[in-house]
Structure 1
């Protein structure tokens, strides 16, 4: 069963596992090792987010931090995706860049809706914990049906965001996508749900790769893939909360 996270490709990991790693515990990927490395990447992301948060308390340079972090994160993320063996070096850099991006994004959101960033952080960790428990207890499993549904949903979301980005250059937008309306909030809930369920596929993929004896260095790549989903989830939750807050304000 392959994860639909673009950076967690089953074929890629299986190819990396070829070479006699099986049975050599010290040289193989483990769930525990991936968990530790995910924690390290998360700590780096939080640290750099706090740096950007503290340096731009009034938001004057928030846009610069946001764009700079996003560009560097995109470039490093693509490099890591195409060259997974570099993950031990590029994954921390990706986490640092994304931390600056998320810090800038959170400052902008906080300026409009005080307290919303903390709510988004708590919700993200809450959803992550819930999905981990649901997966660990096998309440939700990475079934073929779930994989197929999420594959179609993620592709649709990516294409929608791409179209929205292109249309923005012409002063146009996709109806309801970012509008603080019941339909806009419903769309936001759906996208957030897709991001949340992608975690289930990531957990499954990491477990499978560990059982298959992938190289230990690939723990960094597994942690990188999980961070990609977590960052996406935080952004979608923050956007959803802003839509709900805007809608509530407009109806006061």
Structure 2
């Protein structure tokens, strides 16, 4: 199954069609795949030099399971939450802070956002998933979310942040239930549409960032009428991203991909949940304005 999702497309295992992929032959007894000689004689070997023994196959960590995905996703979200809480606590209180005191908060917002974006690109296109880079992304994302949430909390009221958090987990649960109960099927056209929309949103945000440097922001990602259009579109897009995540996890478990790919699935779902949270935050802030 070929993926158009850049997060999963870099993983060869996600493209497998089953246990007998790549010409491996399964033998009775242990159910493990035997790495045959293949068809190219240049690749044949007679054993480890000096030992006369056949080369040892790498030790398998076992296949990915739903439990392993849940565990890695919980760890990833835990890092995001801890980093966000630390940023909230360690930065100045906006109610009493002066303009000079706000430097650390805005620095955390900028460094966290840019660092998380950079690592999200690295993780999305990295062929071999790196748990350390996934957790580093989560830490930087948490720093950015902690700073952003504190600004929204000070400006729009206490209920905005808590409402966005509860809404995010409600969206996750509702999407998962709908995916299983309605037996949603993810097609190639759906994948292409979602990925194109994601990169379109990223392109618009980068354009808005560049325009902001010259004082010519359009307000696409602000708390305004035009900003609400992109916020609602982003929220719907985040739900679509979750559906794709669920589909790839389901396919990966069915194909018996390596357990390490649980980190890739955890990274993808963390990105989707952060996407939903930030758009919910803007929507709730819009309706909380006086």
Question: What TM bracket, shorter-length normalisation?
Answer: 0.7 to 0.9
Larger Rg: 2
2:266 alignment counterpart = 223
SS at match of 2:8: coil
What stretches of structure 2 of length at least 5 have no aligned partner?
33-59, 95-101
CA deviations on 1:66-97 (whole Å, 9 max, x unpaired) are 12222332333333334353522221221112
- What secondary structure, in the 3-state scheme, does the structure 2 residue paired with 1:27 have? coil
Give the SS at the match of 2:216. Answer: coil
User: 1:133 offset after TM fit, Å?
Assistant: 0.7
Matched positions, count: 246
Give the C-alpha shift of residue 110 in structure 1: 0.8
Q: Contact between 1:29 and 1:213, CA under 8 Å: does it hold in 2?
A: yes
How much does 1:178 deviate? 2.9
CA contact (8 A) 2:234 2:275 kept: no
Separation (CA, whole Å) in 2 of partners of 1:121 and 1:175: 24
Q: Which structure carries more relative contact order (alpha carbon 8 Å, separation 6+)?
A: 1
Instruction: Tell me which residue corresponds to 1:56.
Output: 91
2:80 equivalent among 35, 45, 63: 45
Mark the CA change 1:33 to 1:190 in structure 2 (over 3 Å): closer, same or farther: same
State the partner residue of 1:6.
6
Say which SS state the counterpart of residue 7 (structure 2) adopts: coil
- 1:180 corresponding residue in structure 2: 224
Which residue number in structure 2 is paired with residue 241 of structure 1?
284
Q: 1:8 to 1:240 in 2, by over 3 A?
A: farther
**Is this contact kept in 1: 2:116–2:137, CA < 8 A?**
yes
Greater shift after overlay, 117-126 or 78-87?
A: 78-87
Three-state SS of the structure 2 residue aligned to 1:142 is coil
Report the structure, 1 or 2, having the larger helix content: 1
Deviation sequence 1:106-147 (CA, Å, 0-9, x none): 011111012211111111111111001111213533234433
- State the alpha-carbon separation in 2 of the partners of residues 6 and 50 from structure 1: 30
Deviation string, structure 1 residues 31-65 (Cα, Å, up to 9, x no partner): 22111110111111111111111112514322121
Q: Is the contact between residue 242 and residue 272 of structure 2 (CA under 8 Å) also seen in structure 1?
A: yes
Q: In the alignment, which residue of structure 1 is the partner of 2:54? A: none
Q: Give me the TM-score of the superposition, normalised by structure 2.
A: 0.74
Which shifted more, 188-197 or 81-90?
A: 81-90
